[in-house]
Amino acid sequence: MDVLFDGLADAIGLLVSGDQDSWSIMMLTLRVSLTATAIALLVGLPLGAALALARFPGRRVVLAAANTGMGMPPVVVGLFVTVLLWRSGPLGGLGLLYTPAAMVVAQAAIATPIVVALVTAALQQVDPDFRVQMQGLGATATRAFAALLNEARLPLLAAAMAAFGAVVSEVGAAQMVGGNLAGQTRVLTTAAVLATSRGQFSLAIAFGLILLMIAFGVNLALTLLQQRRTVPR
């Protein structure tokens, strides 16, 4: 138990002391994970809407692929992204490997199938006649689609929370494509793994607790937004 209390004390100390390295790790964690989540939402929202509302050959196969992607091991995603960005790989000329940009790419690849699958499920739960009714009331196709998204806003925000939770907590892809370089690509998960490998268990626990605080803070904000219109007045 002592090591747990030491980890808690270290976490508070890192937050209060303003240690530059620790704050740099925290800020990079937030920046990478939030950017990857935003990209996943930008890509996954229209794809999920297309799967939910359109009918085309191979639709069920694509949906099955998205559902399978929800369980894709991050280390497998990291492997594919590493091969793509390797110097001799198809995108090696971009020089992105072992940079925060590569970590964003990998995490976005992890989160996008989650968003696609959950958005599809959310929109399929809305009354199929809802868009027709909106258009019958004179709404344009764009406004009808916006109204549909608003109708499904609670599960859509849940999709955002699930996507963020998946990327902020993963370590395999971040380690592979980022390299865990001090001051450049080290995030809380890879820092915790490194501290554990060195036997610095209190520091590893401190990083883990800070990661939980960040995840809780972001999810609290999304939950408050999600529930804002559901509380009876």
Q: For the whole model, what pTM was predicted?
A: 0.85
In a domain, 222, yes or no: yes
In a domain, 208, yes or no: yes
In a domain, 186, yes or no: yes
Domain total in the chain: 1
In a domain, 148, yes or no: yes
Mean per-residue pLDDT for 137-145?
Answer: 64
Closest by alpha carbon to 186, among 116, 127, 118, 99? 99
Of the listed ranges 26-35, 187-196, 220-229, the least confidently predicted one is 220-229
Q: Please give the Cα distance from 225 to 185 (Å, whole number).
A: 31
In a domain, 233, yes or no: no
In a domain, 153, yes or no: yes
Max intra-chain CA distance, the chain = 66
* Model confidence at 46: pLDDT above 80: yes
- CATH number, position 152: 1.10.3720.10
Amino acid at 59: R
In a domain, 4, yes or no: yes
In the 8-state DSSP scheme, what is residue 98?
A: T
Q: How many residues does the chain have?
A: 233
The pLDDT value recorded for residue 104 is: 97
Q: Please give the Cα distance from 41 to 148 (Å, whole number).
A: 16
Q: Please give the Cα distance from 156 to 149 (Å, whole number).
A: 8
In a domain, 110, yes or no: yes
Domain that includes residue 219, residue range = 1-228
* Model confidence at 233: pLDDT above 60: no
* Residue with token string 């959310």: 122
Mean per-residue pLDDT for 68-82?
Answer: 91
Of the listed ranges 17-26, 181-190, 221-230, the least confidently predicted one is 221-230
